[in-house]
A and B are shown apart, each in its own frame.
Chain A
Amino acid sequence: MNNRLCRPFLVFIPFFIILGLFQLAPLVWVVINSFINNDGHWSLANYQQVVSSPFYRQAFTHSFLVSIFSAVAGLLIATIGCASLRHMQGKIRNIMIAFTNMTSNFAGVPLAFAFIIVLGFNGAITLILRKWGWINSFDLYGTQGLSVVYTYFQIPLAMLLLYPAFDALKVDWEEAASLLGASHRYYWQHIALPVLSPALLGTFIILLANGLGTYATAYTLTSGNYNLVTVRIANLVAGDLFLQPNLAAAISVILMSLLIFITCVNQWLVKRSYHVY
Chain B
Amino acid sequence: MSTKRAMAYHYSVTCFIYFLLLIPLLATLVYSLCDQWGATILPSGFTFKWYIQLWTDPRFLTALYHSMTLAVGTLILSAVLIVPCVFVVFYYYPKLDTGLNILTLLPFAIPPVVSSVGLLQLYSDYPLLLTGTPWILVGCYVGIALPFIYRAVNNNLRALNVHDLMDAARLLGASSTQAFFKLILPNIRKGLMASLFLSFSFLIGEFVFANLLAGANFETLQVYLYNMQQNSSHFTSALVISYFSITLILTLLATRFNR
Chain A positions within 8 Å of B247 at CB level: 102, 105
Q: Evaluate contact between B40 and A248: CB separation under 8 angstroms.
A: no
* A92 to B: closest C-beta gap in Å: 8
In the complex, identify which listed stretch (B9-17, B54-62, B64-72, B151-159) lies at the interface while the others stay far away: B9-17
**Distance, CA A230 to CA B115, complexed state (A):** 11
Chain B 222-242 residues near chain A, CB threshold 8 A:
222, 225-226, 229, 233, 236-237, 240
Counting contact residues on chain A (CB < 8 A from B), the size range is 35 or more
User: Is the C-beta of A255 less than 8 angstroms from some C-beta in chain B?
Assistant: yes
A105/B202 contact (C-beta < 8 A), A118-B23, A216-B208 known: yes
User: Is the C-beta of A109 less than 8 angstroms from some C-beta in chain B?
Assistant: yes
User: Is the C-beta of A274 less than 8 angstroms from some C-beta in chain B?
Assistant: no
Q: Evaluate contact between B243 and A87: CB separation under 8 angstroms.
A: no
A114/B117 contact (C-beta < 8 A), A105-B251, A256-B110 known: no
Q: Evaluate contact between A108 and B207: CB separation under 8 angstroms.
A: yes
* A274 to B: closest C-beta gap in Å: 25
* A217 to B: closest C-beta gap in Å: 9
Q: Evaluate contact between B14 and A11: CB separation under 8 angstroms.
A: no
- Nearest A residue to B38 via CB reads A122
- Within 8 Å by CB of B113, from A15, A106, A215, lies A215
Chain B 70-115 residues near chain A, CB threshold 8 A:
81-82, 84-85, 88, 91-92, 103, 106-107, 109-115
Which B residues fall within an 8 A CB radius of A?
1, 6-7, 9-11, 13-14, 17-18, 20-21, 23-25, 27-28, 31, 37-41, 81-82, 84-85, 88, 91-92, 103, 106-107, 109-122, 136, 139-140, 142-143, 146, 176, 201-202, 205, 207-208, 211-212, 222, 225-226, 229, 233, 236-237, 240, 243-244, 247-248, 251-252, 255
A-B contact pairs, 14 of them (CB 8 A): A8-B176, A12-B85, A14-B81, A23-B107, A23-B110, A23-B143, A83-B10, A99-B18, A108-B207, A110-B244, A118-B27, A124-B41, A152-B20, A234-B212
